[in-house]
Structure 1
Amino acid sequence: MTINEVAAGESRARLEENLDRVEELSKRLVSALTRRHPTPQALSGPDSALYAKAVQAYAQEWVNNPAKLIEQQVSFWGKTVTTFVEAQQQLARGKLEAPQDSGPSDKRFKNPLWDSHPYFNYVKQQYLINADAIHQAVDAIEDMDEKEKRRLRYFSQQIVDMFAPTNFLATNPDALMKAVETEGESLVRGLENLVADLEANNGELVVRLADENAFEIGENIATARGEVIYRNRMMEVIQYNPTTEQVQETPVVLFPPWINKFYILDLKPQNSMIRWVVDQGYTLFVVSWINPDAKYRDVGLEAYVEEGFLKAIEIAKDVCDVPKVNAVGYCIAGTTLCLTLSLMKKRGDKSVRSATFFTALTDFSDQGEFTPFLQDDFADGIEEEINQEGILPSFIMARTFSFLRSNDLIYGPAIRSYMMGETPPAFDLLYWNGDGANLPGLMFTQYLRGLCQRNEFAEGTFEMFGEKLSVKDVDVPVMSIAAESDHIAAARDVYRGVQLMGSRSKQFVMGQSGHIAGIVNPPSKGKYGHFVHDDLSLDFDTWTKTADFREGSWWPHWEDWLKKRSGKKVPARIPGDSAYEPICPAPGTYVKIKAAKQIQ
């Protein structure tokens, strides 16, 4: 038997082995899909009325300005034919070389074959021509409500992103080359990854962004030392161990968002805000929220305020034997901290000395990039899902946020995992991003309808505990931190809400980067700077143009402000007291409850 015959036999054996694995994986794939609970159609796209309005407006544009649309069509036809002819000419020469104009650059098309191979270059250029034509067609529509047009622009972009040639095996040179190099092994591994993701999420396709086996909460992430000193159905309260001999008299109570887990602020020692705050000499309490299941169907914002915010503040006051605390709220917890402060104002409760808000919205008059998700068709779909499940499952919120950056958070990871067969990276931030939490049905309906859609808090009409709450009621000293490129809580929207607050002492700081990196920006990194300006009477554009830029993290600036509102130095406090004895070590138990396991 020759060497070639032996090699051919081995290759055939590997092929048969891979085919057997594919058959087994196909059975698992079908089994996983049968466990899927269908979500309302409205959560997968807009209702047909949006497209009907777009067609009507486009037809009207043909009547009013046919020359402009004809010019666009002729340009599209010309570019298409030219690209086809150039590809034909390259193939006719029999040489694989880059055309004179390989088209615009795009990070999705990094493989040299996208430029040098006539087939792949044609596919790339035609895709970009089609994408540009769609963008022009949407922009050309004038007789359409601006909110509807914003939605149309968003959903048309999703279609453009979805049909990128990189998303399909036949037109992805990286995936094809990998399949050839591995004799199909990469495709089998990719199918294994796909099946594993479906099985882990009850038949829902949620692309894993990080290697979940690389991290264990409390072992190599969320390792700051402390004790859970209180637990109820809504939260665990963690008091962290002091690292200084003396601390500021007034403690800090930090409320993280309950859409994700609190350990974004304690991923690892070098970027842990929790460790940093403690190291500056503060007694720090952090709330770890429950990951709710269907039993929390009727839990509303009132429970988060009464059993969460007010209770945690009371605990910190009792343990530290002080009359006031400094409170911090991040994202939705910042919004709810504002609601709490308004309620406390109504009740004459002066337990909060100062409030700090991280990327927190209080004025939703401009819905920004979330406009597509805050209209009635999508909101009705959310309510239908809540009525069915009792909660809003975590994957729906995760998917909504991911589609704001679909190429980075959906299609790119899917290509690497499902077509290239790669193991997701061991990246702590992406692991946290995938460790989402469910949301109670009533709470999310209140937030979606009352705050986001009707903007009742900014209007002063949001009702809770028999009181009408208003952002104008917030009168404690305030510092609000926004992030320059935040897709979730746009800096200009955060700023507008701060302007409405009734506090005489207000500061607004805008950090560089986005919703996470703009906040988790330790001074040791020396990475992102920040902008400060004392005059909050200015409109946002003027504020940004005239603000002072400072290198490095905003954390020291905030700490200087916080220290002035933290009283004298006192001996460091160990966690708990006779009324709140330690229950278990940080990070506690609630943070380890996985959302996917809650949905049966």
Structure 2
Amino acid sequence: MLQQLNDANRQWWLHWENTANSSGGTPAPAGGVPPTWAAWLNPRPEWIEKQTEYYRAQLDLWLGLVGAKPAQKLIEPERGDRRFNAPEWEDPLFSFIKQNYLLTSKWLMESVSAAATDEEMREKIAFFTRQYVDAISPANFALTNPEVLKLAKETQGESLSAGMQKMLADVQKGLITTTDESVFEVGRNLAVTPGAVVYENDLFQLLQYTPSTDKVYEVPLLIVPPCVNKYYIMDLQPENSMVRWVVEQGYTTFLVSWKSVQPEQGKLTWDDYIEQGVIRAAEVVREITRREKMNVLSFCIGGELVSTAMPIMQSRGLDWFESLTLMTVILDHSEPGDIKHFIDWKLIRSREPMLEQGGVVSGKELARTFASLRANDLIWNYVVNNYLKGKTPPPFDLLYWNNDSANLALPMHTFFLENMYLKNNLTKPNSFSLCGVPIDLTQITLPTYVFAAREDHIVLWRSAYGTTRLFKGPLRFVLGASGHIAGTINPVTANKRNYWVNEELPADPEQWFEKAESRPGSWWQDWAVWLAPRAGKQVAAPKKLGNTKYKEIEPAPGRYVKERVE
């Protein structure tokens, strides 16, 4: 059974390796130093000195294990590394295994830093070397993890048997289980803010939420979430739902619920998401509320859709937006973070022959790519817990949402990768066109609120700050603590974390941060103060949703968000 789990775990590594390869990366095979990277290592004197130190440490480690000299701790895990926290790792044999691994990992990463190549290639090699190093950790294999062996003995092998069953189930569904999914259900305890679907087409459903206050602001609010995942990241459980909180502040709130693309929709383009998505949704909001303008709140790729829609709307004289809020949105892709290692011209070229006939980019493939950016936390942690220990992870709504992925159309996604990431065209006025209109973001003069998260590994906050150099209207930049999701979805009621504000906007983001003021609690408070003056006066809340033209189709959260990617 131990060997089966050991072999199964190795197969999981090969699976993730193939995923990275298909996304443009070149990770190493399990079982040795990446052969194609060895040629990049530069035998300079300082590198040879590091290698000599490594061999000396390994010799001391071995002599300590066999008793030829006193055993000693030659290396400790990095701060925050919880893989070796259990006391079982202090056993002499497993302490040797642990330190051997840590020493080798350190040597590999230092070798990469001395690679005789340019900075871009060195970063790529370092990233995939780290992926390799994380994957071969002794904690990830049954035979070299003392916690797994102890639990197997205590349960008479039941933990291994349970782990095998969990692994087979996850292989079948194509994703690692990261939470107890039996606890959650969309429409039952997730996405339960009252409302209704008041419009739908083949691309999205438009939700309108039931007012919870007697008075509402006269200017409605349209929320455009990302189309990569389901919208309910903004409407999780009642206590951490941003949508519910917004409604409670007195906003007539509408939200776009994107449809997970089906095979017959495989020819959808970025133009379609603008024309039949953003612009169509805004048109319906105007007709239902009978208001000329609305405020728009967008999140992640939803912000890029809205930003690219605005030049088109301007060219048509559609002055429909009062203000724009961008939550963790990257428009300047000069430094996109580690995701860049999965995006290159090889990937684009491999897709080009399929663009005309269309296709679907699996949401599960996208989810695996994002998980690999934090492999120890989102992959190997659960491999050990689920497959080697046979345990079920605790319920966590954010992780349930994280695994509830959505498909994208191949032409739309490829256009996005090529123009935004590889060419960085959003920073180059009129370098490309959408819906027949040259795109120039420097012509956007709308009041804009830009939020970024300091520890965000998907949208680096310094890159999000680049929006301050593009838009020409009044702009407020606010930085929150934590990461892409936890930093954004930070309920006021919890009063956790903090955020930074600075009224000045110097060109350098580091200069902005140096003079920024830290404030306790959720950044939502600051945003509410900013938005209220742009929301008009308070009027009586509507007594019904939709209108005579746009009647209620079905209760929120609607059908589209409940569709699961198989």
1:35-46 equivalent positions in 2, closer than 5 A: 41-43=21-23, 45-46=25-26
| Partner residue, 1:483 | 453
Say which SS state the counterpart of residue 127 (structure 1) adopts.
Answer: helix
Distance 2:476 2:351 in 1: 36
| Residue among 396, 409, 414 paired with 1:445 | 414
Distance 2:181 2:53 in 1: 48
- The answer to which of 283-292 and 458-467 deviates more is 458-467
Does the CA contact (< 8 Å) of 1:53 and 1:144 recur in 2?
no
Shift of 1:197: 1.1
| Partner residue, 2:216 | 247
| Partner residue, 1:187 | 160
Shift of 1:478: 0.4
Distance 2:400 2:38 in 1: 42
Q: Which has the higher helix share?
A: 1
Does the CA contact (< 8 Å) of 1:39 and 1:385 recur in 2?
no
| Partner residue, 1:114 | 89
Letter in 2 for 1:130: T
Letter in 1 for 2:86: N
Matched positions, count: 549
Shift of 1:344: 1.4
Letter in 1 for 2:22: A
Unmatched runs of 5 consecutive residues or more in structure 1: 1-17, 30-37
Say which SS state the counterpart of residue 109 (structure 1) adopts.
Answer: coil
| Partner residue, 1:307 | 276
* Deviation digits for residues 195-218 of structure 1 (CA, Å, limit 9, x no counterpart): 1112223xxxx2111122211111
1:514-525 equivalent positions in 2, closer than 5 A: 514-525=483-494
1:148-547 equivalent positions in 2, closer than 5 A: 148-201=121-174, 206-380=175-349, 390-460=359-429, 461-503=431-473, 505-547=474-516
CA pair 431-100 structure 1, distance change in 2 beyond 3 A = closer
Is 1:67 the counterpart of 2:45? The answer is: yes
CA pair 507-39 structure 1, distance change in 2 beyond 3 A = closer
Instruction: Quote the RMSD (CA, aligned, Å).
Output: 2.6
Letter in 2 for 1:590: Y
TM-score using structure 1 length: 0.87
Letter in 2 for 1:197: D
Shift of 1:395: 1.4
Distance 2:217 2:435 in 1: 34
Shift of 1:78: 0.4
* Deviation digits for residues 373-404 of structure 1 (CA, Å, limit 9, x no counterpart): 12223444566888998111011111111111
Say which SS state the counterpart of residue 493 (structure 2) adopts.
Answer: helix
TM-score using structure 2 length: 0.92
Letter in 2 for 1:135: M
Letter in 2 for 1:323: E
Which structure is larger by alpha-carbon Rg, 1 or 2?
Answer: 1
Is 1:553 the counterpart of 2:522? The answer is: yes
Distance 1:487 1:388 in 2: 34
Distance 2:353 2:460 in 1: 28
Unmatched runs of 5 consecutive residues or more in structure 2: 10-17, 29-33
Letter in 1 for 2:56: G
CA pair 40-521 structure 1, distance change in 2 beyond 3 A = closer
CA pair 317-339 structure 1, distance change in 2 beyond 3 A = same
Letter in 1 for 2:131: Q
* Deviation digits for residues 157-194 of structure 1 (CA, Å, limit 9, x no counterpart): 01100010001101111111111111111111111111
Distance 2:117 2:342 in 1: 18
| Residue among 77, 85, 94 paired with 2:55 | 77
| Partner residue, 1:124 | 98
Say which SS state the counterpart of residue 323 (structure 1) adopts.
Answer: coil
Query: % of aligned pairs identical?
Result: 35
Does the CA contact (< 8 Å) of 1:102 and 1:121 recur in 2?
no
Say which SS state the counterpart of residue 287 (structure 1) adopts.
Answer: strand
Shift of 1:452: 1.0
Distance 1:150 1:378 in 2: 18
Letter in 2 for 1:286: L
Shift of 1:499: 1.9
| Partner residue, 1:15 | none
